[in-house]
Structure 1
Amino acid sequence: MEELKEKKERLSGKERRALILARAKKVFAHGSYAEASTSELAKASEISEPMLYKHFGSKKGLFLSVLDEYIERFFNMWQGRLHSLEQEDPLNALAQIGLEYRSAIKADPEILKILFQAIAESGDAEIGQAARRNNQKLRAFIYELLEHAKEQGKIDPNLNLEAATWVYASLGYAMQISLMLNLDDELDENMLVEIHRLWLKAIKP
């Protein structure tokens, strides 16, 4: 017990923040944003409530930090994937990134629940703004890849890129819903590959 206490005391500020976010993610995911109390969140992170307020200001501040932290991880993963695929067809890159996104959210069902909670709580101005910002960031990422594909003559030059972006983004939303409803055996990898093939057929010259 003393050893654990010493280890806790040795945590840097960055490590402490990461620990709090990881523990808070579990609390929010296993209940809900509305149900989680600051005392429960502080206890899970093994800190005092005043310390939680010092780091995040409020329960909402902590929830938004959890949302932003894990969403940023997804985008960093995608950006890293793009750097490794610089010479690849941007449409093939989209296909790979889509499959990797499914694997990532399947491996971390807690963050999937956080994403849905953010939508459920979007009536709150700050949470709604964060949810919209993340949605827009996702679509901007897809749009950029489609722009590259258009410049390379790989898609119909008259294609409405916004419309094509929304269609592809909707596949990501379908993945999220299928995992939440335990329908991932129906919307499996083979089905996703086929949907992507049909989408490509619709946008190519």
Structure 2
Amino acid sequence: MTSQAGTRATRMPRDQRRASLLEAANEVFTSRGYHAAAMDDIAEAAGVSKPVLYQHFPSKLDLYLALLDASCDSLVEVVRDALASHDHNADRVVATIDAFYAFVSSASGEFRFVFESDLTGDASVQKRLWQVNEEIADLIAEVIESDTALPREQSKLLAISLVGNAQVSARYWVSSGMTIPVEEATSLVSRLAWRGIRGFPLTGYDPARLH
């Protein structure tokens, strides 16, 4: 019976098998964390032998990084979609904050790989986490630069500040038990962000005006 199951597992198309392994790994890493999870646990959760798992992912770190990359890509895409969903910047701010809060409250648990990894000391993980913040900030900076005529460096600094605002507040909201309804939470944070960013002129830039 085990042999038949193993035969069926090897006959699964490679892409489908990889997706199945990632799904199982997501459940194990989310429930146990990176350090407590074992490749044996992931193989068992996926219903495959450990050699089959190693055929797709040479190590536990490779498996974790694949999940991290997928989670980072998801976050970038939801922010990209949020920015493209409206023409008015006030609506873009609301949509972007909504996107962060939807991401951290998703049942998939993807946000844990991006925001709550227990492997942040690893250089490869740090690189990916920094990269996702850079990508999101670049998307927001493009909008700021286009609408305010601020130089690129200043636009990027404002953008990374907005990213930090959205990330930290969303993580706090989840960790505190989500006692504030999501609609109220996103409204509060969106108003804070918009009241800050709307103060910059639509054209030109005079630093003295900020004093």
Report the TM-score, using the length of structure 2 for normalisation: 0.78
Deviations 1:151-197 (A, max 9, x none): 5xxxxx58932332133112222202321331x22373223323322
1:202 counterpart (155, 177, 196) = 196
Cα distance change of structure 1 residues 74 and 195 upon mapping to structure 2, 3 Å threshold: closer
Residue 9 of structure 2 contacts residue 48 of structure 2 at CA under 8 Å; is this kept in 1?
A: no
1:9-158 → structure 2 map (5 Å cutoff): 11-85=12-86, 88-108=87-107, 110-118=109-117, 120-151=118-149, 157=150
Question: For structure 1, which segment, 14-23 or 46-55, has the greater mean C-alpha deviation from structure 2 after superposition?
Answer: 46-55
Cα distance change of structure 1 residues 39 and 71 upon mapping to structure 2, 3 Å threshold: same
Larger Rg: 2
Cα distance change of structure 1 residues 202 and 97 upon mapping to structure 2, 3 Å threshold: closer
Residue 104 of structure 2 contacts residue 110 of structure 2 at CA under 8 Å; is this kept in 1?
A: yes
Cα distance change of structure 1 residues 7 and 189 upon mapping to structure 2, 3 Å threshold: farther
Q: Displacement of 1:14 after TM fit? A: 1.4
Residue 91 of structure 1 contacts residue 145 of structure 1 at CA under 8 Å; is this kept in 2?
A: no
Separation in 1, partners of 2:175, 2:195: 29
Cα distance change of structure 1 residues 162 and 36 upon mapping to structure 2, 3 Å threshold: same
Separation in 1, partners of 2:157, 2:83: 22
Report the TM-score, using the length of structure 1 for normalisation: 0.80
- Hey, what does 2:204 align to over in structure 1? none
- Hey, what does 2:207 align to over in structure 1? none
Cα distance change of structure 1 residues 202 and 115 upon mapping to structure 2, 3 Å threshold: closer
1:188-199 → structure 2 map (5 Å cutoff): 188-199=182-193
Separation in 2, partners of 1:110, 1:202: 31
Deviations 1:95-117 (A, max 9, x none): 21221331232123622222244
- Compute the RMSD of aligned alpha carbons: 2.9
Cα distance change of structure 1 residues 76 and 188 upon mapping to structure 2, 3 Å threshold: closer
Percent of aligned pairs with the same amino acid: 21
Could you list the runs of 5+ residues in structure 1 that have no partner in the other structure?
152-156
Q: Displacement of 1:17 after TM fit? A: 1.1
